[in-house]
Amino acid sequence: MKKVISFFGLLLIVFVQINAQQRTVAECVVNYAVVADSNTDMSRTTKIVYIKGNDCRTDIISPSFTQTIFYDKTTGNAVVLREFGNNKVMTKLSKTQWIEKNKKFDGAAVTMVGDTKNILGYECKKAIIQTSDGNSITVFYATAISPSVKEFEYQFKDIPGFVLEYEEVKEGNKRIKYVATKINLSPVQISKFDVPSAGYRLLN
């Protein structure tokens, strides 16, 4: 009996040590470069993720459009801003609507692969996400760090680390890859998460 207790005690210690090695990042700015197969606006697009506690902001900036998503982990609500030329629109999503918008990622199968690579000094492991609509996303995630907010990128909520690279296959077998080029772990200004109160047309 003592041997059984000792064995499970050892397992608990190992589990705690493994989890203790991973740091939860609650303040950061991560810049991603976008690499696309074809010569489209996506190949000249940048992505910036801001995280502060339970708040996250994601900017997608291209020559033809800009999109910003504000996500609040505390409420589960999100606000999406889009700008196309002179058109500026806002969509507000409740927690239920945000989950519905991302339902294709519910029940996604995550397969861990043995490949690893170094991204910005972090050892990253490879995983493949198979979504319910038949598409797949290949990701490399840092095992040493994990974001304090995960649901802002719903497809990555079950990945046990910080996703620093991922590749999606779009319609027509077009591939788009996002690769982190810079991580800043300094405190983020709270003003980055202020949702505009005017200047946008509200969509239902």
Tell me, yes or no, whether 2 lies in a domain: no
Confidence bin at 169 (pLDDT 50/70/90): confident
d(CA 79, CA 101) in angstroms, rounded, equals 12
d(CA 199, CA 7) in angstroms, rounded, equals 62
Tell me, yes or no, whether 54 lies in a domain: yes
Q: Which long-range contacts link 194-199 to residues 24+ away (Cβ below 8 Å)?
A: 195/70, 195/79, 195/81, 196/81, 196/90, 199/88
Tell me, yes or no, whether 9 lies in a domain: no
Span between the terminal Cα atoms of the chain, in Å: 62
Tell me, yes or no, whether 13 lies in a domain: no
Furthest CA-CA distance within the chain:
73
Question: Would you say residue 9 has pLDDT above 50?
Answer: no
pLDDT at 7: 39
List the CATH number of the domain containing 100: 2.50.20.10
User: What is the pTM assigned to this prediction?
Assistant: 0.85
Domain count for the chain: 1
Tell me, yes or no, whether 39 lies in a domain: yes
pLDDT in tens, 111-165: 999 899 999 999 999 999 988 877 889 999 999 999 999 999 999 999 999 999 9
pLDDT at 1: 47
Which residue type is seen at 67?
Answer: Q
pLDDT at 41: 58
Tell me, yes or no, whether 179 lies in a domain: yes
Of 122, 155, 154, 157, the C-alpha closest to 141 is: 122
Average pLDDT of the chain, as a whole number: 87
Question: Would you say residue 15 has pLDDT above 90?
Answer: no
Least confident piece of the model among 13-22, 36-45, 64-73: 13-22
pLDDT in tens, 45-77: 899 999 999 999 999 999 889 999 999 999 999
In the chain, the percentage of residues whose pLDDT exceeds 70 is 86
Tell me, yes or no, whether 11 lies in a domain: no
Q: How many CB atoms lie within 10 A of CB 124?
A: 23
Question: With contact defined as beta carbons under 8 Å apart, do 54 and 25 qualify?
Answer: no
Q: Which residues, including other chains, have CB under 8 Å from residue 150's CB and lie 6 or more apart?
A: 156, 157, 159
173: left (phi over 0), alpha (psi -120 to 50) or beta: left
Instruction: Provide the domain limits for residue 46.
Output: 23-203
pLDDT at 131: 86
Confidence bin at 2 (pLDDT 50/70/90): very low
Tell me, yes or no, whether 133 lies in a domain: yes
Question: With contact defined as beta carbons under 8 Å apart, do 46 and 29 qualify?
Answer: no
Task: Pull the structure tokens for residue 144.
Answer: 């040493």
